[in-house]
Structure 1
Amino acid sequence: MSATALSILAAVLGFIAVAGFGFALAGQSPSQARAAKRTQAILGREPRDAKARRATGATQDQRRKQILQSLKEQDRQQRKASLSIGARLQQAGLSINVRTFWLISAGLGVSVFLLILMAGQAAYVALGLAFAAGLGLPRWVVAMMAARRTKKFVEAFPDAMDIIVRGIKSGLPVNDSLRIIGAEAPEPLASEFRSLTENTGMGVSIDQAIDRMYERMPAQEVRFFGIVLAIQQKTGGNLAEALGNLSTVIRARKLMREKIKALSGEAVASAFIIGSLPPAVVVMITIMAPEYMAPLFTDVRGRIILLGGALLMGLGIWVMRRMIRMKI
């Protein structure tokens, strides 16, 4: 073979080698090209998807914060409203109005003031006891009656949820189940559900009717009941199952409350003994040696000591009560 032919053959082989090397580096099969295009498309869309997800997450967080803020505001307003005298009277189940309550309080205060003066005590002692009897005692009695009535309501509330669940499963409307509770449940559950059905019968929405029930009966179980009904009205779903779960939760809360009461029984007994021991000792010494305790009641310095001791004892009892109280 001539030199010219060898040169041409070498050039062709070199061209083929260079072309093959370049194709190996840059060339792609059709499937690889499609995969590369998909990869590029995915890579190109990732920032936009990430931005969209971040925007959605930020919107959801903002809505969640707004909902929590509105719930806190509603809870604050409802608590403020439930602390008024009119709300306390409704919670206690009393039919008197606020004006009658204040008249009774004023009459009690004046009566205590006159009785203390007739007993020979100083005017400022009579004034202090009259202030406590006229302003503190009636409010304390009403608050105690309201707490007792609320406790009875909460204890019977899971049975009411069971009645509604059984009524829905048997095909009864919710309003008919509520009427059954108002007719057959014990007090104060029956009267509250009768008021609820009367309000809904007058055209009031179920949300507003339950809000009114919460004003008369400020228990968290009532709020849970209203939330379940509101969610079911807006989104749908199995109301019987939701109320059954609510009944289970309320019973679990009651069980937890009883456990806490049992565990804190020793602390409650200790607080009662510590709080009642000083007044009991004072009474016993006064009975056994009245001349020894007389300066505490007749001398100004003794009265100041008694007043200071009473204030400190009240503060200590309040602190112990706050320490042993647990909210669920």
Structure 2
Amino acid sequence: MGQLIKLQDYVSRYQQDIFLYPSRFVRLKKQQWDKWHKTWESNESFTPRPAQHDTSGTADWSYEEKEPLMEKLKGLLKRGRNEEFEEYNAAGHEVEKEEDVLEFEASFAVRPETIENLKHQFLDQLYRFQMKWATSTLTEKSFPEKQYYYDEKLKYFLQRYPDTYLVMYNPIFLLKRAPVETEIIVIGPTEVWCISFLEQEDSAVFTGSKDRFWTKKGKGEEKKVLNPLLALDRTEKIIRKIFEIHSIELPVKKAVLTRNGYIDYPAAPIDVQLVEKRNYEQWFHAMRNPRSPLKHAQLKGAQALLQYCQTSSVKRLEWENRNES
């Protein structure tokens, strides 16, 4: 499952520590899946049950924090951990115990009939968990539009790609004090992809050109659509400039993606890949096939890009109350 490290201009936990959260997500996902699979195989009940504290030291997920932030901090202080709390204030990093890191349990009234159904249910719950990490931290939160909880294209990247792919979904960069929205950015272990979707009705044909608009032929009248290469080129230039500033060497590639249609552009630039109905499966297989682990250069590149992203958020109420007191 791809990891959503930035969604538009919402605050993200990955911005707090990009070298911590990707590996933590992979580990926690595996632990939680093992629990679900074991429960399913043993025919245990899938009805809701209250979350219990895990005394084994294994990290749990909880969809909501188990106790208010102030109670957590009071507990830390009572245990003589003033120094750790002061470190939070000084460095701006979250003080967060592993067992407080978000858990969700198998909570189905009806047991999934097949392992595939179980996987789909698990991925749907995991998607909502990903949305929480991509729109909040321990002290701040953003208010995402509801459409993102059902966004088919976003689910496509998060549910069908490997855990080692870091997804920035239409991030907004703040460059020279001006916000610039970009295309989808997928940061893999060995390369970065800028991807633009070009999908409308099934089997539509898009005729490309160097002009500002392309032509779409399908059901009904012929229509003009904005040339997707314009936004792709802008996204690529931003990434390359940031990488140049931070001395990051990762190839940057571009793709126009239409899974249900066709692209007719014989004179297309050689530095962009046109992925359409005829070659989609081959491209998709090549994207999913590599099993490279998370790499340092990849995380460093993601960190550099996140530094230039705009973030709109508010302090959590508990944190504001503490500041006032």
Q: What range is the shorter-chain TM-score in?
A: under 0.3
Q: Which has the higher strand share?
A: 2
- Larger Cα-atom Rg: 1
TM-score of the superposition, structure 1-length normalised?
A: 0.23
TM-score of the superposition, structure 2-length normalised?
A: 0.23
Of structures 1 and 2, the one scoring higher in RCO (CA 8 A, sep 6+) is 2
